[in-house]
Amino acid sequence: MKQFEIPAYYRSPIISKVKQQRKMQDPRKKDFTPTRLDFGTVEFLIARHFGFCYGVENAIEISYKAIHENPDKKIYLLSQMIHNPGVNEDLQSYGIEFIQDTHGHQLIPWDKIKAEDVVIIPAFGTTLETEEILTKIGVNVQAYNTTCPFVEKVWNRSEKLGSDQHTIIIHGKADHEETRATFSHSSQNAPSIVIKDILEAAYLCQIILGQRPAEDFYTLFEGKFTEGFDVSKDLAKIGVVNQTTMLATETQEITDMLRNAMIEKYGEITIKEHIADTRDTLCYATNDNQSATYGLMENDADLAIVVGGSNSSNTTHLVELLDNKFKTFFITSAENIWDVTEVESFDIHEKTWKQHDSFLPVEKEKMTIAITSGASCPDAIVDGVIQKILELLGVEKGISEVI
């Protein structure tokens, strides 16, 4: 695996050592049990896999390379590099400006961008329409294109499916940068539709099976399908791809549901003519992080902490999983921890920050805390959370001794 050059302050004294030990013990990533760090009064269960993935480290390396190689040029990011406020704020501290927000709304008019400017394409990729605008301006869009290779893999798979006359069904969030980019690419080759979850998959199955009138499709999926989509013929041969940060289990559940609907309509014998096998589009990092989260859930803990950006899709899904077993706090950094009892946590259902006055179970002789983070969260931030808790609890046992 390639080693990336990223700023040293994204690394960490605790997590880096933990990850190095696990890599030596389990080089093939077969063991998803968490690492235990026992400090006496508190024990941390650290997920086997979490934090920066290949695509994120690649994007960060290219972004800082752009800064260092162009000291006298105006540098823009098309939108947030990744969904982590600390990383984005650091890039902005170097003078980088965002052209769009995460929903694609314009922050800087296109006519302000000059041919000699540097524009960094974020890890999520971008739409073909945006690439065309930048190319017409004269910007070299490939010079600092940080699109994740696994996102491009989905695009390539979509192109192949389209060439085989499949309609592309994208499991993703329609307003997410990656899904917008994937939809733009898939639309060039095939009819395409974005579905958000298993409920929308069920609606689609009902339409395929004639259990709902075809007209319902255009209402239920308004704004999420390609122009000219014809329900009478475009749902006869399909292939499912996903936004790489979605729950892998949900993507598979959606695929299985659609497959069963196609079998019911067309029969088992000809099923390969009606739905493609697309399991190979799932991102390895998303799979590993989610599997490691299931590994955390096989243990007992007093609470769980998930660290990452509140608008991070992959991080939100980790919270969803842990919420099923633990009292889970979703925080951005140690700054959200005010003291042993008070914490500010993001509510993924109401999309708001909430204050809690029952954070750590200080009445216990020993507490256990499960902890993980999203793929866009630097290890140093997770370190900061652990160190903040140790400091608040007055733990004297040294980190090097525990590791």
- Active-site residue numbers? 178
Which helix H or strand E contains 113, and what residues bound it?
Answer: none
Which helix H or strand E contains 161, and what residues bound it?
Answer: helix 149-163
d(CA 224, CA 174): 7
Locate 240 and state its tokens: 């499912």
Residue written as token pair 């395929």: 208
Locate 327 and state its tokens: 């009292």
The torsion defined by the Cα of 291, 295, 296 and 298, in degrees rounded to 10, comes to 140
Nearest residue to 204 via CA among 184, 223, 220: 220
d(CA 241, CA 186): 10
Beta strands in 184-253 (DSSP E): 192-195, 238-242
361 — phi, psi (to 5°)?
A: -80, 75
Terminal-residue alpha carbon distance, the chain: 25
* Dihedral sign of CA atoms 278, 319, 374, 371 in order: negative
Q: Radius of gyration of the chain from Cα atoms?
A: 23
Q: Angle, to 10 degrees, between the axis of helix 284-297 and the axis of helix 248-266?
A: 110
The torsion defined by the Cα of 139, 144, 147 and 153, in degrees rounded to 10, comes to 90
Judged by DSSP in three states, 181 sits in helix
Locate 188 and state its tokens: 């060039």
Locate 134 and state its tokens: 């930048």
Looking from the CA of 110 toward its CB, the CA atoms found within 13 Å total: 13
Contact 55, 149 (CB under 8 A): yes
